[in-house]
Amino acid sequence: MTARVICVANRKGGVGETTTAVNVAAELGDRGRRVLVIDLDTQAHASPGLGAVVGLDHPGAHSVFRETRFGLESAVRSGNARGVDVLPPEREFQIHDSVSDPLRFARAIKPLAERCDDFVIDTAPAIDVVTISALAAADSLLIPTQLQHLAYDGVARFSRVLLKVTTILNRSLAEFAVVPIQIDLRVNLQRRVHERLLGEYGRYRVFHGIRVDIALAEAFGAGSAVRDYKPHSHGAADYASLADDILSLWNA
């Protein structure tokens, strides 16, 4: 596989996983990279965030968990951000006992690797077989989190899951970084939690944070990445800085 596989995940919901997946993909695409966003959250938020809306019965990324011979190429849709395509989810997918091979997804995306430079995988806020499968396919991981004590504890717990995955399933998953979301370092609590993250993981594993910006929610409502919806906003600037971190620190 020649493409980099970036998984965006956290066991806690509402911490900006989908917003990060959509806007990181758009930033990478704007830099001339060919990006495929794989929406593994059956809530299907990343897909419309890039202008790719499909029906409830449309086959998608989850189809490979039910059908071993399903070709994902047929489900890929064009996104509305430069250089970005989208592989929507199967919205009616239900996890059941037959989903037993956590490496099936990694094998299924290999034929798509020649058509892109980066995969960006959006996952549901859960540690289930689908999220584990995404981690088993990835070589890089972004963990968005709010700067709160409970969220910090959630990152620590997720890191233990990551350790198990890298030990048992995927030794190639060597790169991960925490992405602080909705930050305002003028707030004492946020500043203390940010310092704890830096102390625990170091500067090279705590990437540029994303400030509170209503433009991020507005862009989603418009079915667009924030860089295209409001290019001079704080959100656009912050996700551009995050993409710079990915390209400079992980490429190095």
Residue tagged 């190429």 (tokens): 73
Q: Give start and end residues of each alpha helix (H) in the chain.
A: 17-30, 46-49, 63-66, 104-109, 129-137, 149-168, 188-201, 214-221, 226-229, 234-245
What tokens appear for 166 in the block? 């890298």
Q: Which pLDDT value is given to residue 99?
A: 62
CA–CA separation, 174 and 47 (whole Å): 27
- Residue 77 C-alpha from the chain's centroid: 18
Per-residue pLDDT averaged across 82-109, rounded?
82
Q: Does pLDDT of 48 surpass 60?
A: yes
CA–CA separation, 100 and 70 (whole Å): 17
CA–CA separation, 110 and 140 (whole Å): 16
Higher pLDDT, 43 or 121: 121
Are 90 and 58 within 8 A, CB to CB?
A: yes
DSSP 205: G
Per-residue pLDDT averaged across 157-182, rounded?
92
CA–CA separation, 224 and 80 (whole Å): 7
Q: Does pLDDT of 70 surpass 80?
A: no
Query: With a threshold of 0.75, does the pTM exceed it?
Result: yes
Task: Give the model's confidence band at 117: pLDDT under 50 very low, under 70 low, under 90 confident, else very high.
Answer: very high
For 129-160, the pLDDT digits (tens) are 899 999 999 999 999 999 998 888 889 889 88
Per-residue pLDDT averaged across 236-250, rounded?
94
